[in-house]
Structure 1
Amino acid sequence: MIRRRTLLASTGLAAVALALSACSGTAAPAASSASSSGAASASGPASLATLTAGKLTVATGQPAYSPWVEDDKPESGKGFESAVTYAVAKQLGYAASDVVWVRSTFDSAVTPGAKPWDLNIQQFSITAARKQAVDFSSPYYTTTQAVVTTKGSKAEGVTTLAGLKGLTIGVASGTTSLQVATDKIGAPKVYNSNDDAVQALKTKQIDAIVADLPTAFYIAGGQLDDGVVVGQIADSTTGGDEFAFVLPKDSKLTAPVSAAVDAITKSGELKTITDKWLSSEVDAPVLQ
């Protein structure tokens, strides 16, 4: 979980500068503040079946938001998912300059078919339904869902899930947040993106938004002038929402990418990255 003060400092309490054109990884940023002792894989990138020999093509959303990617520049290595990607690439034997960034929509990434990328990272939760269409790596983060609203709204001060029933809740389509909100609160109002839901909250069309916990804190501190995180929604069935890289179905890269995630987890590098960009505790009560 995430300390609000740490996360809000990383977002700068300001709107992210949104670069709307696709990016390619030509820069060579530091992957993280921690160095991995077992950097390159034994086989090296030459033996990996990537779209472009010697390059690792990684997709993320457009735009990509803090704290996952800072300033919509994944090639900078700044932001939790950007840093994780460079750490995994290093484990696979790639230099930072060999990581090529492209953009994709969330929904298209988890549908069947060929993909114009090797990996995709944009807070994809591992679900049984998605596994029918794509592969997942080992998880790199486990989170919960949370409720965010504005000061003075009907949702502010609510301490139970029952207290949210009857309110108008917004959620982004195609997300685990949609399923959790439906199961725990009731049928929400569905939007194309969190941005659309935020706009609806600003104009009082809805009372609150359900999003993953880090995104909820970003919305509260970076997109709303008077944002409030109401609390977390406990998920006793899974113990939290697991985020992982998405790969094309039956990709030959799935095993080595999972091994790389496992390696940075075991070495402690993943924890260092998590502490830097997300911290370890959050000031948000669990809604019973």
Structure 2
Amino acid sequence: MRTPRVVVLAAASALALAACAPVDETTEETGEGSTGGYVTEGTLTVATSDPAYEPWVVGDDPASGEGFEAAVAYAVADRLGFAAEDVEWVTATFDQIIAPGAKDFDFAINQVSISDERRENLDFSSSYYDTAQAVVTLEGSPVAGATTIAELQGARIGAMVGTTSLDVVTETVAPTTDVATFNDNDQVKQALVAGLVDAIVVDLPTALYITAAELDGGVLVGQLPAGDDPDQLGLVLDKDSPLTDEVTAAVDALREDGTLAELETRWLTDAAGAPVLG
């Protein structure tokens, strides 16, 4: 069937008008009518694990904004131009977060250390937390009430071989007895439980987890300095995400204006009972 000439002319006219129509400039800004690289238009989608443990997330409810990582996520969202009600949380396991492939979130926050190996498949923001080292012991230990580094010097201390933890305890604490070394953190914990050492040194995220979920009567004595080359935690994005630069800029701004330091003090030092040992 032949198409009537009037229909053809009408279609051509419509195309010409569309070509001349002005571009909607609101599509350039975050949450202003465009996905702009975001999973959902007008929404910041953030992933973390379930359950999410304190002090990273309070009450396993990241939407509350309570806890260090929940608070950091909302601070980043604010810097990106999103209101709190425009942040949507989704669940992803640690393995799903670091796996190669497209993500169903804009960024994830889940104590993921930045590494060159992971950068092969993922993008990271700049560090939102440089990991400190922490001393862990058990109730009744001779160092359970220690408040200074000097009180640790006579203790038998264990750490994992080849780690920042071992370097920091050796250089900062300088115990009078050689630090006992083990092949992995499971062996480090077993040595503590078996009474082979009085205390162990692990990174703070590990210390918070094992005292809350793994050690019966575990005591977080306090934090040690992070050392010259600390593990750094970054927000995880899809490889070559168009959001990486602006998310990194948001994290950098929060570091520069002191927000990250304030949140760290509130949630990781005070609320978590992890004082800095002097």
TM-score, normalisation: structure 2:
0.66
CA contact (8 A) 2:132 2:203 kept: yes
For residue 20 of structure 1, what is the aligned residue in structure 2?
none
Is 1:188 the counterpart of 2:184? The answer is yes
For residue 25 of structure 2, what is the aligned residue in structure 1?
none
Distance 2:125 2:37 in 1: 16
In 2 relative to 1, CA 114–164 (structure 1 residues): closer, same or farther, beyond 3 Å?
Answer: same
Is 1:129 the counterpart of 2:125? The answer is no
1:10-47, CA deviations, whole angstroms, 9 ceiling, x for partnerless residues?
xxxxxxxxxxxxxxxxxxxxxxxxxxxxxxxx933236
Is 1:228 the counterpart of 2:216? The answer is no
Distance 1:268 1:236 in 2: 21
CA contact (8 A) 1:146 1:213 kept: yes
Distance 2:206 2:227 in 1: 21
Secondary structure of 2:251's counterpart equals helix
1:82-111, CA deviations, whole angstroms, 9 ceiling, x for partnerless residues?
111111111111121221111111122122
CA contact (8 A) 1:135 1:247 kept: yes
Is 1:256 the counterpart of 2:246? The answer is yes
CA contact (8 A) 1:62 1:104 kept: yes
Aligned length: 229
CA contact (8 A) 2:99 2:121 kept: yes
CA contact (8 A) 2:46 2:106 kept: yes
Larger Rg: 2
CA contact (8 A) 1:57 1:119 kept: yes
Give unpaired runs (5+ residues) of structure 2: 1-27, 171-180
For residue 50 of structure 2, what is the aligned residue in structure 1?
62
CA contact (8 A) 2:65 2:74 kept: yes
Structure with the largest fraction of helix: 2
Query: What pairs with 1:1-288 in structure 2 (closer than 5 Å)?
Result: 43-45=29-31, 46=34, 48-151=36-139, 159=152, 163-164=156-157, 180=164, 185-188=181-184, 190=186, 211-217=202-208, 219-220=210-211, 226-229=217-220, 236-238=227-229, 240-279=230-269, 282-283=274-275, 285=277
**1:119 positional shift:** 0.5
Secondary structure of 1:245's counterpart equals strand
**1:204 positional shift:** 5.6
Secondary structure of 1:57's counterpart equals strand
For residue 194 of structure 1, what is the aligned residue in structure 2?
none
**1:141 positional shift:** 1.2
In 2 relative to 1, CA 227–180 (structure 1 residues): closer, same or farther, beyond 3 Å?
Answer: same
Give unpaired runs (5+ residues) of structure 1: 1-41, 172-176, 192-196
Farther-moved stretch of structure 1 (221-230 vs 144-153): 221-230
In 2 relative to 1, CA 274–188 (structure 1 residues): closer, same or farther, beyond 3 Å?
Answer: closer
In 2 relative to 1, CA 67–189 (structure 1 residues): closer, same or farther, beyond 3 Å?
Answer: closer
In 2 relative to 1, CA 110–205 (structure 1 residues): closer, same or farther, beyond 3 Å?
Answer: farther
**1:180 positional shift:** 4.6
Distance 2:130 2:186 in 1: 24
CA contact (8 A) 1:59 1:121 kept: yes
Amino acid at match of 1:267: D
CA contact (8 A) 1:70 1:79 kept: yes
**1:254 positional shift:** 0.5
Distance 1:271 1:230 in 2: 21
1:97-143, CA deviations, whole angstroms, 9 ceiling, x for partnerless residues?
22111111112212221112110101111112211121110111112
Q: Identity, % of aligned pairs?
A: 43
Distance 2:85 2:255 in 1: 23
TM-score, normalisation: structure 1:
0.64
CA contact (8 A) 2:139 2:218 kept: yes
